[in-house]
Amino acid sequence: MVNRSPVRLSPSADVTDGALVARAAGGDERALGLLYDRYGAVLYAVAYRVVGGRADAEEVVVDAFAQVWRDAPRFEAGRGSVAGWLTTIARSRALDLVRARSRRERAVGAAGAAADRQDAPPAMGDLLADPAASLDQDERRRQVRRALDGLSPSQRQAIELAYFEGLSQSEIAERLQQPLGTVKTRVRLGMEKLREALRPFYFERGT
Give whole-number Cα distances, 157 to 142, 166, 174, in Å: 19, 13, 13
Of 6-14, 99-107, 113-121: span binding another protein (CB under 8 A) = 113-121
The span from the CA of 92 to the CA of 2, in Å, is 29
Give whole-number Cα distances, 191 to 90, 100, 188, 195, in Å: 20, 29, 5, 6
- φ, ψ (nearest 5 deg) of residue 13: -60, -30
Cβ proximity to another protein: between 9 and 110 the closer is 110
CB 176 to another protein: min, Å: 13
**Residues in contact with another protein, shown as a per-residue x/- string from 50 to 89 under the rule CB under 8 A:** ----xx-xx--xxx-xx--xxxxxx----xxx-xx-xxx-
Q: Which of 10, 40, 93, 155 binds another protein (CB under 8 A)?
A: 40
Q: Which of 36, 93, 97, 98 binds another protein (CB under 8 A)?
A: 36
Cβ proximity to another protein: between 29 and 152 the closer is 29
Q: Contact 35/20 with Cβ under 8 angstroms?
A: yes
Which amino acid belongs to residue 182? T
Q: Contact 90/203 with Cβ under 8 angstroms?
A: no
Cβ proximity to another protein: between 14 and 76 the closer is 76
174 binds another protein (CB under 8 A): no
